[in-house]
Amino acid sequence: MTTVAAVLLALLAGTTTAPAVADESRPRGDGFTITQAMSMNDPVHHRGQVARQLRTYIRHTPRGATISIQTFYLASSVTWPALRAAYRRGVDIRAVLSGGPGGSPLTGVSSMGVKLDKLVSAGRAHGRRGSWVVWTDNVARGHDGPNTVMHAKFWQFSRVGATRKVTMIGSYNNSDAADARAYSAMVTLADPDLYDAAQSIFKESALDRHRPGNPLRRFSGEGWDAYFMPATPISRANDPVLKRLRAMPADAHTRMAVSMYSWQGRRGVWLARRMATMLHGGAHLTVVVGPDISPPVMRILREAHARFEDGCWRTTRTPSGYAYTHDKEMTATWVKAGETQYGAWLGSDDWGNGPGGSQSDQATIGLHSAWAYRRLTRLLAPQINHEPDNLGRCNPL
């Protein structure tokens, strides 16, 4: 059953794999490869999908390789045994984890992070080097404040099986609680340029201090672009999302879908107004309304005749009694110079100025391919197709 599950997971994710080995303390073989993959935690239909995918990558990380983790949550009982086994077989594990004021673990957020910290500390006491855990004091790369947090979510593997320089990035909080109630997506790419770009942010984040100037960083490569916040300040001139929207024509060929946990503040308003302008020009927009989309944003989009879908609802099919979108995802297709263009964006950036938005550490990637557009469209379908759409006030936390 373990072998069959591993093979099915690899096929669904766009990977190939060698047969699994019962002993998870060593990698599963040299035949495992990754090209590109995208997965969604669906608490109703495919709970724990991303956690299991991470577990597969960790199990195939060989001795001497390095796993770099920058994440808000690290509290998954699915991935933790694989991380522990990887460290014990000689994989270096480096983690930048969200801490509160003073750089201490946040209660309920990183229970497995605390265990990892103890494991690494014990190894260092016996002379082992190469692994470490950093608990950030609020934000890692920006100005610390009451509304800042280390909110980025990406994992990097120097090697997975036969594939080198693998990066996984998106909106997924690695925790059992998130698996039980929150939709969230991650994309995996074996791209050396992306790996190196994210590593530069990871190393800077590990210093946990603000450097002079705006810490907003942008990178691009073949078929992708990425940005890493904080953006202090954020403005219409430097907002990566507004730049994205302005690059699309405001006509009937442009079709967009957004699934967004939080969309608020002055930044949220200017993004909503840009989308409203596009809608008035003939574009189409579907919005999965998450728990923290503000009334002004809703009003602007409603007056422009956007299509709304419920992004938070009660259900008996999850242990928490709720299912809600934690996505910060968007798809779009449009026509430029007579050719159809495709885009898909995944990351941790909520569209606002609050803790999940521009003042905090964020990582978002845009993929420009028909594969990414169609894959993310398929993964968002359960949220978009859910009925009824009550759009009532929702506080699932």
Where is average pLDDT lowest: 22-26, 55-59, 152-156, 246-250?
22-26
Are 68 and 94 within 8 A, CB to CB?
Answer: yes
Tokens (6 digits) for 245: 């929207």
The C-alpha atoms of residue 43 and residue 382 are separated, in whole angstroms, by 11
Q: CA gyration radius for the chain? A: 20
* Conformation bin of residue 338: beta by default, left when phi > 0, alpha when psi is -120 to 50: left
The stretch 352-365 carries a mean pLDDT of 92
CA distance 230 to 215: 6
CA atoms within 13 A on the CB side of 152: 36
pLDDT at 395: 82
- Does 107 or 383 have the greater pLDDT score? 383
Rounded CA-CA distance 177/314 in Å is 16
Cβ–Cβ contacts within 10 Å for residue 290, how many?
26
pLDDT tens across 42-53, in order? 999 999 999 999
CB atoms within 10 A of CB 129: 8
Q: What local confidence, expressed as pLDDT, does residue 16 receive?
A: 41
Q: What is the mean pLDDT of the chain?
A: 92
- Residues contacting residue 385 through CB under 8 Å, at least 6 positions apart: none
3-class secondary-structure state, position 148: coil
Is the predicted pLDDT of residue 1 greater than 70, yes or no?
A: no
Confidence band of 28 (pLDDT split at 50, 70, 90): low
Q: What is the pTM of this model?
A: 0.92
Q: For residue 61, give the DSSP letter.
A: P
Residue-wise burial string across 62-96, b where 16 or more C-beta atoms lie within 10 A, e elsewhere: beebbbbbbbbbbbbebbbbbbbbbbebebbbbbb
Mean pLDDT on 54-69: 98
CA–centroid distance for 297 within its chain: 23
Over range 190-197, report the average pLDDT.
Answer: 98
Q: Which of 37, 65, 41 is nearest to 52 (CA)?
A: 41
The domains located in the chain, with CATH, are 2-206 (3.30.870.10), 218-385 (3.30.870.10)
3-state SS string over 231-290?
CCCCCCCCCHHHHHHHCCCCCCCCEEEEEEEEECHHHHHHHHHHHHHHHHCCCEEEEEEE
The predicted structure's pLDDT at residue 19: 33
pLDDT over threshold 80, residue 237: yes
Diameter of the chain by CA atoms? 65
Cβ neighbours, 10 Å, residue 338: 5
CB atoms within 10 A of CB 22: 6
